[in-house]
Amino acid sequence: MKKFMSLCVALLVFFASAPLAQAATPYVSASAGLALLSESDVEGSWVTDIDYKSGFVINGALGLDGGMYRIEGAVGYQVSDWDEINGIELADNVDAEVSILSFMANGYLDIEMPVSMVTPYLTAGVGIANVDFEDFEDSDDDTVFAYQFGAGVGIDAIPNVMLDLGYRYFATGDVSPAEDVDVSIASHNIVAGVRVNF
């Protein structure tokens, strides 16, 4: 956690001191949407793969907007129920899910369009994630490196307020919820949100 906070502070200081960002303004953003976890490959267990149902994701961030470039520190949470283990569908009364709490440093490239309310963007980020597996009344978790990249559009709503529609590919290093067990985690997230500049 300390390394992540140091990285965020270093990136924010760099961004704030860059010549392009002398007029950078702070912003806050929030978003929510659909989390589509890819099938997890499992090594070191009788479980070889896990399929998931569609889940949800929420994110909140504080950042600096320098016009063409933005940088932010973000917190995210997503959860999805298990659907199948080794190709066998779980019964409806089985309570098993995976939840992910992430802390990310994200950068954005806003592509300004001539006379348009719509601003496309590209984004990428790095950070850490705590991945928690809850299965059959047991819970195991691991904290690992995380990264994401994506694209979207910002839509001018009212002065200093933008609506945001975007896609994120989010993934982590292999998660070890138990000794000698490695689980792959990757998710396709579709989000909608709002960004307010101050």
Per-residue confidence (pLDDT) for residue 60, from 0 to 100? 97
Return phi, psi of residue 132, to 5°: -115, 120
Per-residue confidence (pLDDT) for residue 63, from 0 to 100? 94
Entry pTM = 0.85
Q: Give the C-alpha separation, 160 to 86, whole Å.
A: 49
Q: Compute the chain's Rg from CA coordinates.
A: 18
Taken in order of first residue, the domains within the chain and their CATH numbers are 2-197 (2.40.160.20)
Please write down the HEC assignment for all residues of 140-192: EEEEEEEEEEEEEEEEEEECCEEEEEEEEEEEECCECCCCCCEECCEEEEEEE
CA separation, residue 129 to residues 11, 71, 105, 171 (Å): 19, 19, 12, 9
Q: Give the C-alpha separation, 178 to 182, whole Å.
A: 8
User: pLDDT tens string for the chain (198 positions)?
Assistant: 555 455 555 555 555 555 545 668 899 999 999 999 999 999 988 889 999 999 999 999 999 998 889 999 999 999 999 999 999 998 887 888 999 999 999 999 999 888 788 999 999 999 999 999 987 666 788 999 999 999 999 999 888 999 999 999 999 999 998 888 899 999 999 999 999 998
Neighbouring C-beta atoms of residue 37, cutoff 10 Å: 26
Per-residue confidence (pLDDT) for residue 20, from 0 to 100? 45
